[in-house]
Amino acid sequence: MNWQEKTVLVTGGTGSFGKKFAETMLKHNHPKKLIIFSRDELKQHDMRTGGFDHDSLRYFIGDVRDLNRLKRAMTDVDIVVHTAALKQVPACEYNPLEAVMTNVMGARNVIDASIDCGVTKVLALSTDKAVNPINLYGATKLVAEKLFVQANSYSGTKATRFSCVRYGNVVGSRGSVVPLFLQQKKSGKITVTDPRMTRFWITLQGGVDFVIRNIERMTGGEIFVPKIPSMKIVDLAKAIAPDCKIESIGIRPGEKLHEVLVSEDDVRNTVEFDDMYVIQPADPMWNYVPWKSEKRLPEDFLYASNTNKDWLTVERLREIVGMSKCEE
């Protein structure tokens, strides 16, 4: 793909992912234009004055709940990366209609605007919490996944194609447990909900690189799942604050003991590659070309954080987070 000829729009572009995506694109891919679409003028101002002030950058204030504003922003856009979402589990539980408006209706608006504006490729970010969801956030992201996959049927003969990436927790992103542990470290005590709890982990840069690669190779309808390591939350706490006391406070409402990225029901439509799994649409109503792989998954396969073969060691985690941060 010749990125130099492409105009790219990122919804939720002032978030942790959006900023790292912008940094990577400007450094390595050099798109013709990169549009940061978000609803917070202060975050856009801070992003611009914090070093993101490039000739190819545009800042567009708007909300994914506003279809007309999305259409205006997507004029002459080639590629959309959809990251905007309400993602804090407790906030979504307390404000369920707000979560639905942003995560579900916002997804619908991105789909409609992309088709109407002739966008070529749309890649949406999803989460392991969309698999067998037990909280509202996961449920809204599951619905969003279904919408984006089936949007390829709505596109019809038009060129617009939609796919998703689905991965786990991002190390150090805003709202993740790592900044919380770093803050708690100052008090000498770290709180974990359950010492048995496991999670998938991916670095922010790893997530961005995975998204960029799959924009280039998507054909429409796939859910791309990276092969990433797991780690126990209690080991994460030990890596960040080895000298602190660890207190178990119990699992919170809407929280799982373990997370899943590829479920038993996904397996029948999933193909495996060296770096990822590709979940293909079960019944595509469009001209879909199936992915082929010589690697076959057993029928009882489950890609879960507690059955994962790849585990993140304390030493490896400390390298990812950064020794300086762990010692603050």
Q: Is 295 helix (H, G, I), strand (E, B) or coil?
A: strand
SS3 88: coil
Long-range CB pairs of 206-213, under 8 A, 24+ apart, other chains included: 207/17, 207/20, 207/165, 207/167, 207/170, 208/17, 208/20, 208/21, 208/24, 209/24, 210/165, 210/167, 210/276, 211/21, 211/81, 211/123, 211/125, 211/165, 212/21, 212/24, 212/25, 212/29
SS (H, E, C) 211-243: HHHHHHHCCCCCEEEECCCEEEHHHHHHHHCCC
The 10 Å Cβ neighbour count of residue 272 is 20
Amino acid identity for residue 323 in this structure: M
185 catalytic residue (yes or no): no
Closest CA to 21 of 12, 275, 163: 12
Annotated catalytic residue, options 19, 43, 87, 129: 129
Catalytic center residues: 129
